[in-house]
Chains A and B, each alone.
Chain A
Amino acid sequence: MTDPMSRPRAQPLIDMRGVGVSRSGRWLVQGVDLVIRPGEIVTLIGPNGSGKTTTAKTAVGILKPDSGRVDRARDLVVGYVPQKLAIDRSLPMRVARMMTLTTKAGAGAVEAALDRVGIAHLARAQVHDLSGGEFQRALLARAMLRRPDLLVLDEPVQGVDFSGEIALYELISELRDSEGCAVLLISHDLHVVMAKTDRVICLNGHVCCEGSPSSVAASPAYRQLFGDRAAEALAVYRHHHDHTHLPGGEISYPARHDHDDGDGYAHGHRHGDGPCSHAHGTTREADAAGRPGDADEADARAVEDHHA
């Protein structure tokens, strides 16, 4: 782990100021400031629907901000590992071919990139036949082959078991050290990424708190968002917080707070059963419009529509 404060203050790769993104009249994120400097690992954490993916997409230019501004370094090379990537079975593709989707590279460079993530033996396999962990490694190798200034990883350990998860984070950290690229990491799980990250930004529609992993874990805003028990154990599989999200129309859970909500917007999130198994409940649904919403879900829908 490197202390970003000890680095020279290099020109930032990404400089976001007061960025907001709205969809059909409600804000997915609002007032987000985010600076990423060369070589640092920045982690975005927050519950589902807190706008982590939206923020990252706006940072690299997939989405245009509806307010605020985003400045990117000139000729910034981004390597992107999306949250969901499913290659249609009708599209035949070997792992080696996937490496050069957006960049040209010789066979030697492709092999070296695959070797770096430990799947050189799978170069000729079809991408559809890979396991979840192998596929994530292939995606990581593909992004690294671009020699990016900034590597963006959106929940990179989905579909990977727990030991594989730790190995993958180790690998990401190693790659950062050897290649010197900055990393923007999205996670809803601070305890695994904690040792490997320079700076944590805790999101919930806006930036709740920001700083070194230990200072964020100790901050009241984080405790409020993720619950005291979670902050102590850093096992963030059940969040309690008092922010309001969109009425998703899902099953309503009773509030599980033991502290005072004040405004009556209590609702609970549950995580850990997989990316889609969270639930929202809100006591005043009509009032929730215009508040930070479930960006991850909205984006997933947009992607599906796009392919139709």
Chain B
Amino acid sequence: MLDDFFTRALLAGLGIAVIAGPLGCFVVWRRMAYFGDTMAHSALLGIALALAFEWATLPAVFLIAAVVSLALILLQRRGGLSTDSLLGILSHSTLAIGLVALAFMPWVRVDLLGYLFGDILAVTRADLAAIWGGSAVVGAALFLLWRPLLAGTVNAELASAEGQSPELARAAFMLLLAFVIAIAMKIVGILLITALLIIPAATARRFATSPETMALVAAVVGAMASTGGLYLSLGYDTPSGPSIVVAALMLFLLALLPLPRLARRRTTEEGAP
């Protein structure tokens, strides 16, 4: 079964989608979309690092993402510039440094487009193992972190006063995000990863009445988008990564259309004494 490249692609897409959905919910709730984007862009610098020192890609990407998060925290402490501006600086400069660094290594031949937009059809069995293994680890960590992370998302001070260590949970969440970006890179590419985090979560918001259902629905929506996108790509011979994002957008728009009236009716029924 795994001999077929398309089956491998489907499984890889599912493996990422089921974890990107719940994680993406926190990205939406905590308004960290730009932060996710910055981490993803810094991944190219990680790849350059890996190629220069002949390291494995995944740890190098993870390392750079962690360094960028740390740099952000330090720059935030310094004050003076908004987080938004700091992320803009970090996001694009890490991407640019990555591209420049790759140009300094003419001896390495890299498929730049594959890194930027994903190459899910080239997923190997080893990649698949990394994706599903990583996804399971992140899922377990998220399950354990759920209460402190959610409490800290609602209000960090409340969480802190009531013994939930929100700063620790936040740092752990950033690392999980870096890890998922590192393993998802191959699927949709550096430039489109954030879409896989944000769009399914945003779609799920329409159907959810609790944080937990939103996370589950986001996982399902992500799985549908990834599978649908791959068939779209197969049928119309379109690039696979962008096709997945287009499929996710279509689901988002579909959820947008008939629902506002239904949702309002449901909340008024619930709100009635």
Contact = CB atoms under 8 A, between A and B. Distances in A.
Interface stretch (A169-177, A202-210, A299-307): A299-307
Most buried by A among B76, B158, B214: B158
Contacts of A10: none
Nearest to B76: A305
Contacts of B159: 101-102
Contacts of B151: 101-102
Interface in B175-216: 202, 205, 208-211, 213-214
B121 interface: no
A163 interface: no
Contacts of B162: 78-80, 102-103, 146
A93 B30 CA distance: 15
Contacts of B76: 305
Given A82-B155, A101-B154, A307-B30, A61 B214 contact: no
Nearest to A76: B163
Given A78-B161, A125-B271, A93 B210 contact: yes
Interface residues of B, number: 35
Contacts of A82: 155, 157-158
B153 interface: yes
Interface in B42-94: 76, 82-84
A59 B150 CA distance: 24
A90 B29 contact: yes
A23 B224 CA distance: 49
A94 interface: yes
A87 interface: yes
A92 B213 CA distance: 9
A97 B210 contact: yes
Given A78-B161, A125-B270, A303-B157, A308 B209 contact: no
Interface string A51-84: 0000001001110000000000000001110100
B156 interface: yes
B31 A102 contact: no
B147 interface: yes
Given A62-B161, A90-B29, A102-B164, A85 B210 contact: no
Contact of B155 (A57, A85, A92, A152): A85
Most buried by B among A61, A85, A98, A101: A101
Interface string B229-253: 0000000000000000000000000
A306 B156 contact: yes
Interface in A87-113: 87-88, 90-94, 97-98, 101-103
Contacts of A305: 76, 83
A308 B267 CA distance: 29
B7 interface: no
A98 B181 CA distance: 30
Contacts of A88: 29, 31, 153
B267 A121 contact: no
A97 B211 contact: yes
B28 interface: yes
Contacts of A80: 157-158, 161-162
B271 A129 contact: yes
Contacts of A126: 209, 267, 270-271
Most buried by B among A80, A92, A126: A92
Interface in A230-271: none
A85 B151 CA distance: 12
Nearest to B268: A129
Interface string A158-183: 00000000000000000000000000
Most buried by A among B29, B31, B202, B214: B29
Contact of A129 (B157, B267, B273): B267
Contacts of A62: 157, 160-161
Nearest to A121: B273
B209 A90 contact: no
Contacts of B156: 303, 306
A60 B31 CA distance: 27
Given A102-B162, A146-B162, A85 B209 contact: no
Contacts of A129: 267, 271
Most buried by B among A57, A60, A98, A306: A306
A91 B161 contact: no
Contacts of B273: 121-122
A308 B158 contact: no
Contact of A60 (B29, B147, B154, B161): B161
A91 to B, nearest CB: 5
7 contacts: A78-B161, A92-B210, A93-B210, A101-B150, A102-B159, A307-B30, A308-B31
Given A82-B157, A82-B158, A92-B210, 6 more contacts: A88-B31, A92-B208, A93-B154, A93-B211, A101-B158, A308-B84
Which 3 A-B residue pairs are closest in the complex by CB-CB distance? A308-B83, A80-B161, A121-B273
